Structure 1
Amino acid sequence: MVAQDTKSALLAEAEVLIRTQGYAAFSYADLSERVGIRKASIHHHFPTKELLGAALIDAYLERFELELKSLSEKRASAKSKLLSYSDFFSGGLRDGLMPLCGALAADAAQLPPSMQSRVKKFFNIHLDWLEEILEQGLESGEFRDNLKARRSATVLLSTLQGASLVAWALKDPSLIRPAAKQAIDSLAFPLD
């Protein structure tokens, strides 16, 4: 295997392990077995598990930010963008994977500080994007005018993270979109 291919394979398999078992539960021995290389070779690419985790989060954030940018640029209503955003959560579940940020947050106490700060950044990227889209929806009249964008962003992200955990436990990704739709619809009308 070429060095860059090995590094990419290590990151891909580490992501699967984190999203199925959690960061604290996997070891370089697990990764060695999955990629088919010796543990010493893993240490050549990533001397510590912390460096591996940090590189994984950084690469994931780069891809995720591009996906959010692409979704932002679509000619669609704010409600439609928010519903499409919810599909990010159900996509991985179809492959039996928990959302990465949820899996890492569940292990927050075991994460090294450099990874904890990256997880915080990850959640803030979600919240900032949601807030931006909600503000667009406020400007276009899609949402009720007393809506607090940041608070509503937190509610939507919490709803999706919670729905993801329930869907992952029940092995039913179809639970996420209806939960997202109900949360999004609640922003447009006063709650009784």
Structure 2
Amino acid sequence: MRTAESLLRSKGYAAFSYADLAEAVGIRKASIHHHFPAKEDLGLAVVQAYVERMVQSYDDICHRHSSVEVRLAAFADWFMAGAKEGRLPLCGALAAEMAVLPPRLQALTRNFFRIQLQWLQKVLDEGAALQEIPAHIDTEVCSRQILSLLEGSSFVDWALDDRKTVDARTLLCLAGISPAPRALH
């Protein structure tokens, strides 16, 4: 499953095959087909497992950290971990191929984004309630900005192969919820 995820994040859904996976894992294609009769079945299993890990990680972030700034920094670090390894975020890699994804994977990809946006908005709403971020911030819009900045940054990093991930403080500044770092003044 992890190898299939890595292939999805580096080659894309349409470009990777059972032959690629069999070679990478060192098993026969028939063994993969036994567990996942269709590529869509494998894709669904990979994405569902990833989303479960992601949700658990987000819950852990909320339990370990109380401030909105630290939670968002932890989110950015978690999100950009794959970029540091030269891989696209799974949600972005899937979204880039939305037109060729089977309908169930399209639906799961949309839900994948919704889960992230809902978590971000919840964190921002809590931060606004605690007066950690300005009350005028539209948390729904800001959630999209944060996710868009991370997604876009990961694609630029991947295309340039330079692994220059977004600094969490800069991310918060660009989203309008933190003062600009000194270098941006």
> What TM-score do the two structures reach when normalised by structure 1?
0.87
**Cross-structure match for 1:109:** 99
Cα root mean square deviation, aligned: 1.4
Distance 2:162 2:120 in 1: 25
Does structure 2 conserve the Cα–Cα contact (< 8 Å) formed by 1:142 and 1:188? no
Amino acid at match of 1:125: I
1:134 aligns with 2:124: yes
Does structure 2 conserve the Cα–Cα contact (< 8 Å) formed by 1:93 and 1:168? yes
Of residues 159, 169, 174 in structure 1, which corresponds to 2:149?
A: 159
Does structure 2 conserve the Cα–Cα contact (< 8 Å) formed by 1:89 and 1:176? no
**Cross-structure match for 2:66:** 76
Identity between Structure 1 and Structure 2 (%)? 42
Q: Map 1:18-37; keep pairs closer than 5 Å.
A: 18-37=8-27
> How many aligned positions are there?
178
Between Structure 1 and Structure 2, which shows a larger proportion of helix residues? 1
Does structure 1 conserve the Cα–Cα contact (< 8 Å) formed by 2:65 and 2:71? no
Does structure 1 conserve the Cα–Cα contact (< 8 Å) formed by 2:6 and 2:87? yes
**Cross-structure match for 2:171:** 180
After the TM superposition, list the runs of 4 or more consecutive aligned residues in structure 1 that deviate by more than 4 angstroms.
none
Amino acid at match of 1:187: I
Distance 2:46 2:165 in 1: 28
CA distance 1:75–1:93, shift in 2 (3 Å)? closer
Kindly state the Cα deviation for residue 14 of structure 1 after the two structures are TM-superposed.
0.9
Distance 1:37 1:160 in 2: 35
Distance 2:78 2:158 in 1: 14
CA distance 1:50–1:146, shift in 2 (3 Å)? same
Mark the runs of 5 or more structure 1 residues left unpaired by the alignment: 1-10
Residue 159 of structure 2 aligns to a residue in which SS? helix
Amino acid at match of 1:37: I
